[in-house]
Amino acid sequence: MSLRVALVDSGGTNIGSVSYALERLGATARLTADRDEILAADRVILPGVGAAGAGMRRLRELGLKEVLHEVQVPLLGVCLGMQLLFERSAEDGGVDTLGLVPGEVLPIKADYGVRVPHMGWNALTEIVDDPLLAGIGEGERAYFVHSYAAPAGPHTLAATTHGDTFTAVVRSGLRWGAQFHPERSASVGARLLRNFLTEVGR
């Protein structure tokens, strides 16, 4: 696969596993915080694990908030990376995030019987026809680990339910996000990553 894939050095602990998942698909992703390298890529992936405040701090310190606004090719946020695509997160007392996708990320409600953080396999529902989800069917399962989520809205491509229903996959223009971990989601995750490499932006 000759695509140039930039894996944004966001400091997330899932960077290695995302990189390995891409290698299994025949793609080589270059871990980078370099503006020119990111903007020269054919695909850009923003991984992330942890808190929104720390994630945004790192992106600002590296000057990457502005760079990600300049990206004109398909961009995929993964887990915290997806949450950072939105306008704001309620985490850490409220954090302004990248503003690439409309909406706010909110805490998962720890109601009776609902465990937080949400960890485990959940079914994808309300799937919208989109190249990123080609070949992924209603009810297929993906692996989630998170305490905050974006409510389902007009940009939601797939949802899931853990207490409330929230966004599992989102899209705004050339910006996509997956709340679940595709690198840990077996065939569904591999299919989503392959679609990101070969189907979106065509």
Question: pLDDT per residue over 4-26, tens digit each?
Answer: 999 998 776 567 788 888 988 98
Q: Would the CA dihedral through 106, 148, 33, 29 be positive or negative? A: negative
SS3 percent helix, strand, coil of the chain, rounded to 5, is 30, 30, 40
Domains and CATH numbers, the chain: 5-198 (3.40.50.880)
Question: pLDDT per residue over 34-64, tens digit each?
Answer: 999 999 999 999 998 889 999 999 999 999 9
Token representation of residue 132: 């990123």
The SS3 assignment for 50 reads coil
Beta bridge partners of 5: 29, 43
Which pLDDT belongs to residue 165?
94
Which pLDDT belongs to residue 17?
82
The DSSP element (H or E) to which 126 belongs, if any, is none
Point out the catalytic residue in the list 118, 146, 162, 181.
181
Contact in structure between 58 and 10 (CB atoms under 8 Å): yes
Which pLDDT belongs to residue 13?
57
Question: What's the rounded Cα separation, in Å, for the pair 60 and 46?
Answer: 14
Q: Which of 47-51, 161-165, 170-174 has the least mean pLDDT?
A: 47-51
Q: Would the CA dihedral through 19, 179, 106, 65 be positive or negative? A: positive
Token representation of residue 158: 């797939």
Task: Show Cβ contacts of residue 187 under 8 Å, excluding neighbours closer than 6 positions.
Answer: none
Question: pLDDT per residue over 88-144, tens digit each?
Answer: 999 989 999 999 999 999 999 888 788 999 999 999 999 999 999 999 999 999 999
Q: What is the pTM of this model?
A: 0.95
**pLDDT band (50, 70, 90) for residue 72:** very high
Does residue 87 carry a catalytic annotation? no
Which pLDDT belongs to residue 176?
98
Point out the catalytic residue in the list 118, 140, 162, 183.
183
Point out the catalytic residue in the list 79, 140, 146, 162.
79
Does residue 104 carry a catalytic annotation? no
Does residue 162 carry a catalytic annotation? no
